[in-house]
């Protein structure tokens, strides 16, 4: 089985070595694709140095900061072109623990999409300001209730897809970013009747570097949910 972990980056030079090292130390055969948006801090250069000594690390360089959603879509296309069976999303800032990757993979025995969930077993978030935690929880509740989708953590970015799920989605039509990208991908998989399961994780906020969260990402998610509701009502997806 071919497995790929995809991690988009923008100014993650201080985290990228540790991320790659932790994934490489897992006792599974897994490749790593870094999708870098021309990071000014030289993230891509750090990855290239690692690639000289590792055949399991790959780099997809993009011309500018084009956003999280398109970074993942470009990574998904790269993975499908190379016939990976399982495709994992993981943040580069170490907020997702790579040690959870084997558990996500194991759950694909019974699921087509596995979500590393902060909220399926209480609230498991460390070091977030209370305001951001409330915003995240309310955003999930808002999306879940409005589109009636049975997923506790719709906005989480730690996931494992079977390739069939990705292949069934028209990636060229995905234009959303951030929270809304995660919601949209979950919604499309659910509407296509794929089995989705959540695995409880502990999310630890980054300790190095700056968060990419901003108001535009929040507002995009707010307006994305009614659009998805309309798609569900009229069966347009």
Which CATH number characterizes residue 23's domain?
Answer: 3.90.550.10
Tell me phi and psi for residue 198, to 5 degrees: -110, 140
pLDDT of residue 175 exceeding 80, the answer is no
Position 159 scores a pLDDT of 98
CB atoms within 10 A of CB 71: 24
Residue 176 pLDDT class (50, 70, 90 cuts): confident
Position 220 scores a pLDDT of 76
Residue 229 pLDDT class (50, 70, 90 cuts): confident
Q: How many domains does the chain have?
A: 1
> Mean pLDDT, the chain, as a whole number?
92
State how far the alpha carbon of 149 is from the alpha carbons of 39, 50, 155, 184, 204, in Å: 36, 41, 12, 11, 26
- Average pLDDT of 46-50? 97
Q: What whole-number distance in Å separates Cα of residue 94 and Cα of residue 212?
A: 14
CB atoms within 10 A of CB 230: 10
Residue ranges with strand state E in 62-164: 86-89, 113-117, 125-126, 159-162
Q: What whole-number distance in Å separates Cα of residue 234 and Cα of residue 91?
A: 34
Position 208 scores a pLDDT of 77
Position 62 scores a pLDDT of 97
- Cβ neighbours for 88, distance < 8 A, ≥ 6 positions apart: 3, 4, 5, 6, 30, 101, 104, 105, 159, 160, 161
What would the two tokens of residue 148 be? 């009636």
Choose among 4, 20, 13: nearest CA to 74.
4
**Which residue range is the domain that position 199 belongs to?**
3-233
Q: Would you call 114 exposed, middle or buried from its count of C-beta atoms within 10 A (0-12, 13-18, 19+)?
A: buried
State how far the alpha carbon of 57 is from the alpha carbons of 5, 33, 73, 154, 234, in Å: 10, 6, 18, 29, 43
Instruction: Output the pTM of the full model.
Output: 0.93
């Amino acid at each position: 089985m071919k497995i790929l972990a995809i991690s988009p980056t923008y100014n993650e030079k201080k985290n990228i070595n540790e991320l790659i090292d932790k994934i490489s130390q897992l006792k599974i055969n897994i490749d790593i694709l870094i999708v870098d948006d021309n990071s000014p801090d030289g993230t891509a250069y750090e990855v290239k140095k690692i690639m000289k000594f590792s055949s399991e690390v790959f780099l997809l360089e993009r011309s500018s900061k084009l956003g999280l959603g398109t970074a993942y879509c470009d990574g998904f296309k790269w993975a499908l072109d190379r016939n990976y069976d399982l495709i994992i999303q993981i943040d580069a800032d170490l907020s997702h623990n790579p040690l959870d990757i084997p558990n996500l993979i194991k759950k694909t025995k019974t699921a087509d999409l596995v979500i590393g969930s902060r909220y399926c077993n209480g609230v498991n978030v460390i070091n977030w300001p209370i305001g951001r935690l409330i915003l995240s929880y309310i955003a999930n509740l808002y999306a879940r209730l409005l589109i009636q989708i049975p997923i506790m953590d719709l906005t989480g970015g730690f996931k494992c897809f079977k390739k069939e799920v990705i292949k069934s989605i028209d990636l060229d039509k995905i234009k959303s970013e951030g929270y809304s990208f995660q919601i949209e991908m979950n919604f499309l998989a659910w509407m296509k009747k794929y089995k989705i399961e959540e695995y409880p994780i502990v999310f630890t906020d980054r300790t190095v570097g700056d968060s990419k969260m901003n108001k535009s990402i929040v507002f995009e998610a707010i307006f994305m949910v009614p659009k998805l509701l309309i798609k569900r009502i009229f069966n347009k997806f």
